[in-house]
Structures are given as structure tokens and as C-alpha cells.
């Protein structure tokens, strides 16, 4: 499997994209059935419009209005959590760490940015541990800090 890279996305638009794609497709299905199309033909149009709407809305909304950066690291999240604390101390980055159920949440005061690390499963057999790293609340003001943080995490991951 290829190594991952940072991806910008909007964490709240995922459900909006699915819901709006379903609504548009269902309205088209009802419209086609009311004009006398057979269910097979209307079903094919439903699937086509659903896929086209889903992909186009994902590109338009999710990527254009990104408010988070996400990356998957192929390390156990408990082990890499120690490395994050050492990295932040080495780079003189102030942070507050909170332990949640199956995750660690870091707050960076003065930057209005938070980071969550949680376990992630790459495949169904769960043999290879992985960690999902998410930088939340990305804005124009803290984007430079987030980029610096992402580069530092990349350096740490490549040295490990």
C-alpha cells in the first residue's frame, strides 16, 4: 500500500453531500416515474445522477471549503502519541493533551487549532496498526501553523 499524504477536506460536508445527492436522485426518480418511464429505466437514471451528483458535490464542497487536514500513519496510535509529545516539546509548540475514549486530542493555544489521533484499520484483518491524524478548525489565520505542524509530523514519520 502507498504511504498516505495530507488531504484537505471539510469534515461536516460528508453527510450533506450524501443527503443532497440522495434527495436530487429521488426527485429525479419520482419525476421520471410520473412521466411514464419504466422502473428499470428510471432506476438506471437514478444511479447515474446519484453518482454524478455525489462526485461533483464532493469536489465542489469538500475540497473548496476545507476545514481540516487528514493523514493516515502506519504506526500504532499509542506509540506515536509519545513521539508527538516529544516532537512538540522539541519544536517548542505549546499544547494541551486530553485523553478520550479511543483517541488523544491536542489543543494548540493561540492558534485555534486542534489535532486528534485515533486508531485506524487499514484492512479487515487488523494486523497492521495505523493511526488517523486529523487537524481540525483550519482557517486562513492558522493555516501556516497547520502546514508547519504537518511538515513536522511528516519528518517525524519518515525518521521513524
Q: Which residue has the cell 483517541?
A: 103
Alpha-carbon distance 54 to 25, whole Å? 10
DSSP letters spanning 1-70: -PPP--EEE-TTHHHHHHHHHHHHHHHHHHHHHHTT--HHHHHHHHHHHHHHHHHHHIIIIIIHT--EEE
Strands 129-136 and 68-73, sheet pairing: antiparallel
Average pLDDT of the residues in 93-106 = 90
Average pLDDT of the residues in 108-114 = 89
Average pLDDT, the chain: 85
pTM listed for this prediction:
0.70
Question: Residue 124's pLDDT is what?
Answer: 66
The backbone torsions φ and ψ at residue 144, rounded to the nearest 5 degrees and listed phi first, read: -65, -45
Amino acid at each position: 500500500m502507498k504511504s498516505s499524504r495530507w488531504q484537505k477536506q471539510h469534515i461536516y460536508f460528508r453527510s450533506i453531500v450524501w443527503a443532497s445527492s440522495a434527495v436530487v436522485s429521488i426527485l429525479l426518480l419520482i419525476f421520471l416515474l410520473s412521466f411514464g418511464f419504466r422502473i428499470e429505466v428510471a432506476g438506471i437514471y437514478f444511479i447515474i445522477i446519484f453518482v454524478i451528483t455525489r462526485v461533483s458535490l464532493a469536489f465542489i464542497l469538500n475540497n473548496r471549503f476545507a476545514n481540516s487536514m487528514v493523514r493516515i500513519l502506519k504506526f500504532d496510535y499509542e506509540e506515536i502519541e509519545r513521539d508527538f509529545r516529544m516532537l512538540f516539546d522539541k519544536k517548542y509548540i505549546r499544547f494541551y493533551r486530553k485523553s478520550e475514549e479511543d483517541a488523544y486530542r491536542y489543543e494548540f493555544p493561540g492558534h485555534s487549532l486542534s489535532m486528534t489521533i485515533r486508531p485506524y484499520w487499514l484492512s479487515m484483518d487488523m494486523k497492521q496498526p495505523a493511526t488517523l491524524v486529523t487537524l481540525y478548525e483550519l482557517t486562513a489565520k492558522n493555516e501556516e501553523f497547520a502546514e508547519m505542524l504537518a511538515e513536522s509530523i511528516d519528518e517525524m514519520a519518515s525518521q521513524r
